[in-house]
Amino acid sequence: MSWFKRDKPSDQKLPNLSDADRRVRTEGLWQKCESCRQIVWKKELEANWNVCAKCGAHSRLDAVSRLKLLLDGGEYETFDHDLRSSDPLGFVDNKPYRERLVSMEKATHLPEALIAAAGRIEGRPVEICAHEPRFIGGSLGSVVGEKIARSIERAIARRRPLVIVSASGGARMQEGAISLMQMAKIAAGLMRLDEAKLPFISVLTDPTTGGVTASYAMLGDLNIAEPGALIGFAGPRVIEQTIRQKLPEGFQRSEFLLKHGMLDAVVPRLELKPFISQALGFFMG
């Protein structure tokens, strides 16, 4: 399984674009919705937090926008921001992991695939983590794991609820078993959070797969997902080959998982904040 999802070769063509000048002027201003295939104005899409106004499809949202959307006034304090992977295995695939980290940082302006922060949701203080899906697929490596573990520690020390917004391809293969160990470390931390009687709300967004689904993303007191999000462990092709059966329509999408008891709710992006606030009110009294 590749953590680097390349976009399919674009077949996007703007209407009536015969002259090159016009193509240059309009390039980047418009985007084709992956779901309804209609052309949408990029600015309008961004203003709507990447939810298509025409069909309601939720495209991926970066970690900074996610925190701005959920936290009061878009304000938050970050923690452990400068933690960086030490490349413990000296891993090289088609390029050295170290180089990959540098290029990812350049592309996303973030040193790792997760922001750990604190802020308020409708007045309630929370510790919150958001995966950055563009940083090596939002994958769970040693730094992401450590940032989450420290967020849990802070939540316990400050008697605050924890929210994690997942958008991740799973464990980071470039850190091998050290990535996998993060699953156990975080799960153990969440048990301590539970013993401290503090809630953990897991928000699963597109995509939440592999080791992230297999650990904390499914360990929330509430597991809520955005509409249409891909959520699963292994990919559908691997499952079909293993069980030698055709998978049903919509398999591994939020709505299917809700119907089969794997999720507590499917909540549209723009309603997430009031929903989480209400849940926190219920949990925290």
Phi-psi region at 261: left, alpha or beta (left = phi > 0; alpha = psi -120 to 50): left
Q: Does 52 bind Zn ion (CB under 5 A)?
A: yes
Q: Does 191 bind Zn ion (CB under 5 A)?
A: no
Let me know: does 151 contact 200? Beta carbons within 8 Å.
no
User: What's the CA gap between 235 and 107, in Å, rounded?
Assistant: 27
Q: Considering only the stretches 28-36, 160-168, 191-199, 233-241, report the one whose residues sit in contact with Zn ion under the rule CB under 5 A.
A: 28-36
Binding footprint of Zn ion, residue count (CB under 5 A): 7
Q: Does 54 bind Zn ion (CB under 5 A)?
A: yes
Q: How far is the CB of 214 from Zn ion (least distance, A)?
A: 31
Q: Considering only the stretches 30-38, 140-148, 151-159, 245-253, report the one whose residues sit in contact with Zn ion under the rule CB under 5 A.
A: 30-38
Residues contacting 1, CB < 8 A, separation 6+: 169, 210, 235
Q: Considering only the stretches 26-34, 99-107, 233-241, 249-257, report the one whose residues sit in contact with Zn ion under the rule CB under 5 A.
A: 26-34
Let me know: does 59 contact 45? Beta carbons within 8 Å.
yes
Between 31 and 223, whose beta carbon lies closer to Zn ion? Answer: 31
The total of other beta-carbon atoms located within 10 Å of residue 158's CB is 12
Between 33 and 234, whose beta carbon lies closer to Zn ion? Answer: 33
Q: Does 262 bind Zn ion (CB under 5 A)?
A: no
* Strands annotated E in the chain: 30-32, 39-41, 76-79, 114-121, 124-131, 162-168, 200-208, 222-225, 265-266
Cα angle for residues 160, 166, 172 (degrees, 5° grid):
120
Q: Considering only the stretches 6-14, 45-53, 82-90, 222-230, report the one whose residues sit in contact with Zn ion under the rule CB under 5 A.
A: 45-53
Residue selected from 32, 35, 48, 275 as contacting Zn ion according to rule CB under 5 A: 35
User: What's the CA gap between 119 and 112, in Å, rounded?
Assistant: 20
Residue selected from 17, 29, 47, 55 as contacting Zn ion according to rule CB under 5 A: 55
Q: How far is the CB of 51 from Zn ion (least distance, A)?
A: 9
Q: How far is the CB of 30 from Zn ion (least distance, A)?
A: 13
Q: Does 36 bind Zn ion (CB under 5 A)?
A: yes
Q: Does 33 bind Zn ion (CB under 5 A)?
A: yes
The one-character DSSP state at 247 is P
In the complex, the residues that contact Zn ion under the rule CB under 5 A are 33, 35-36, 52, 54-55, 57
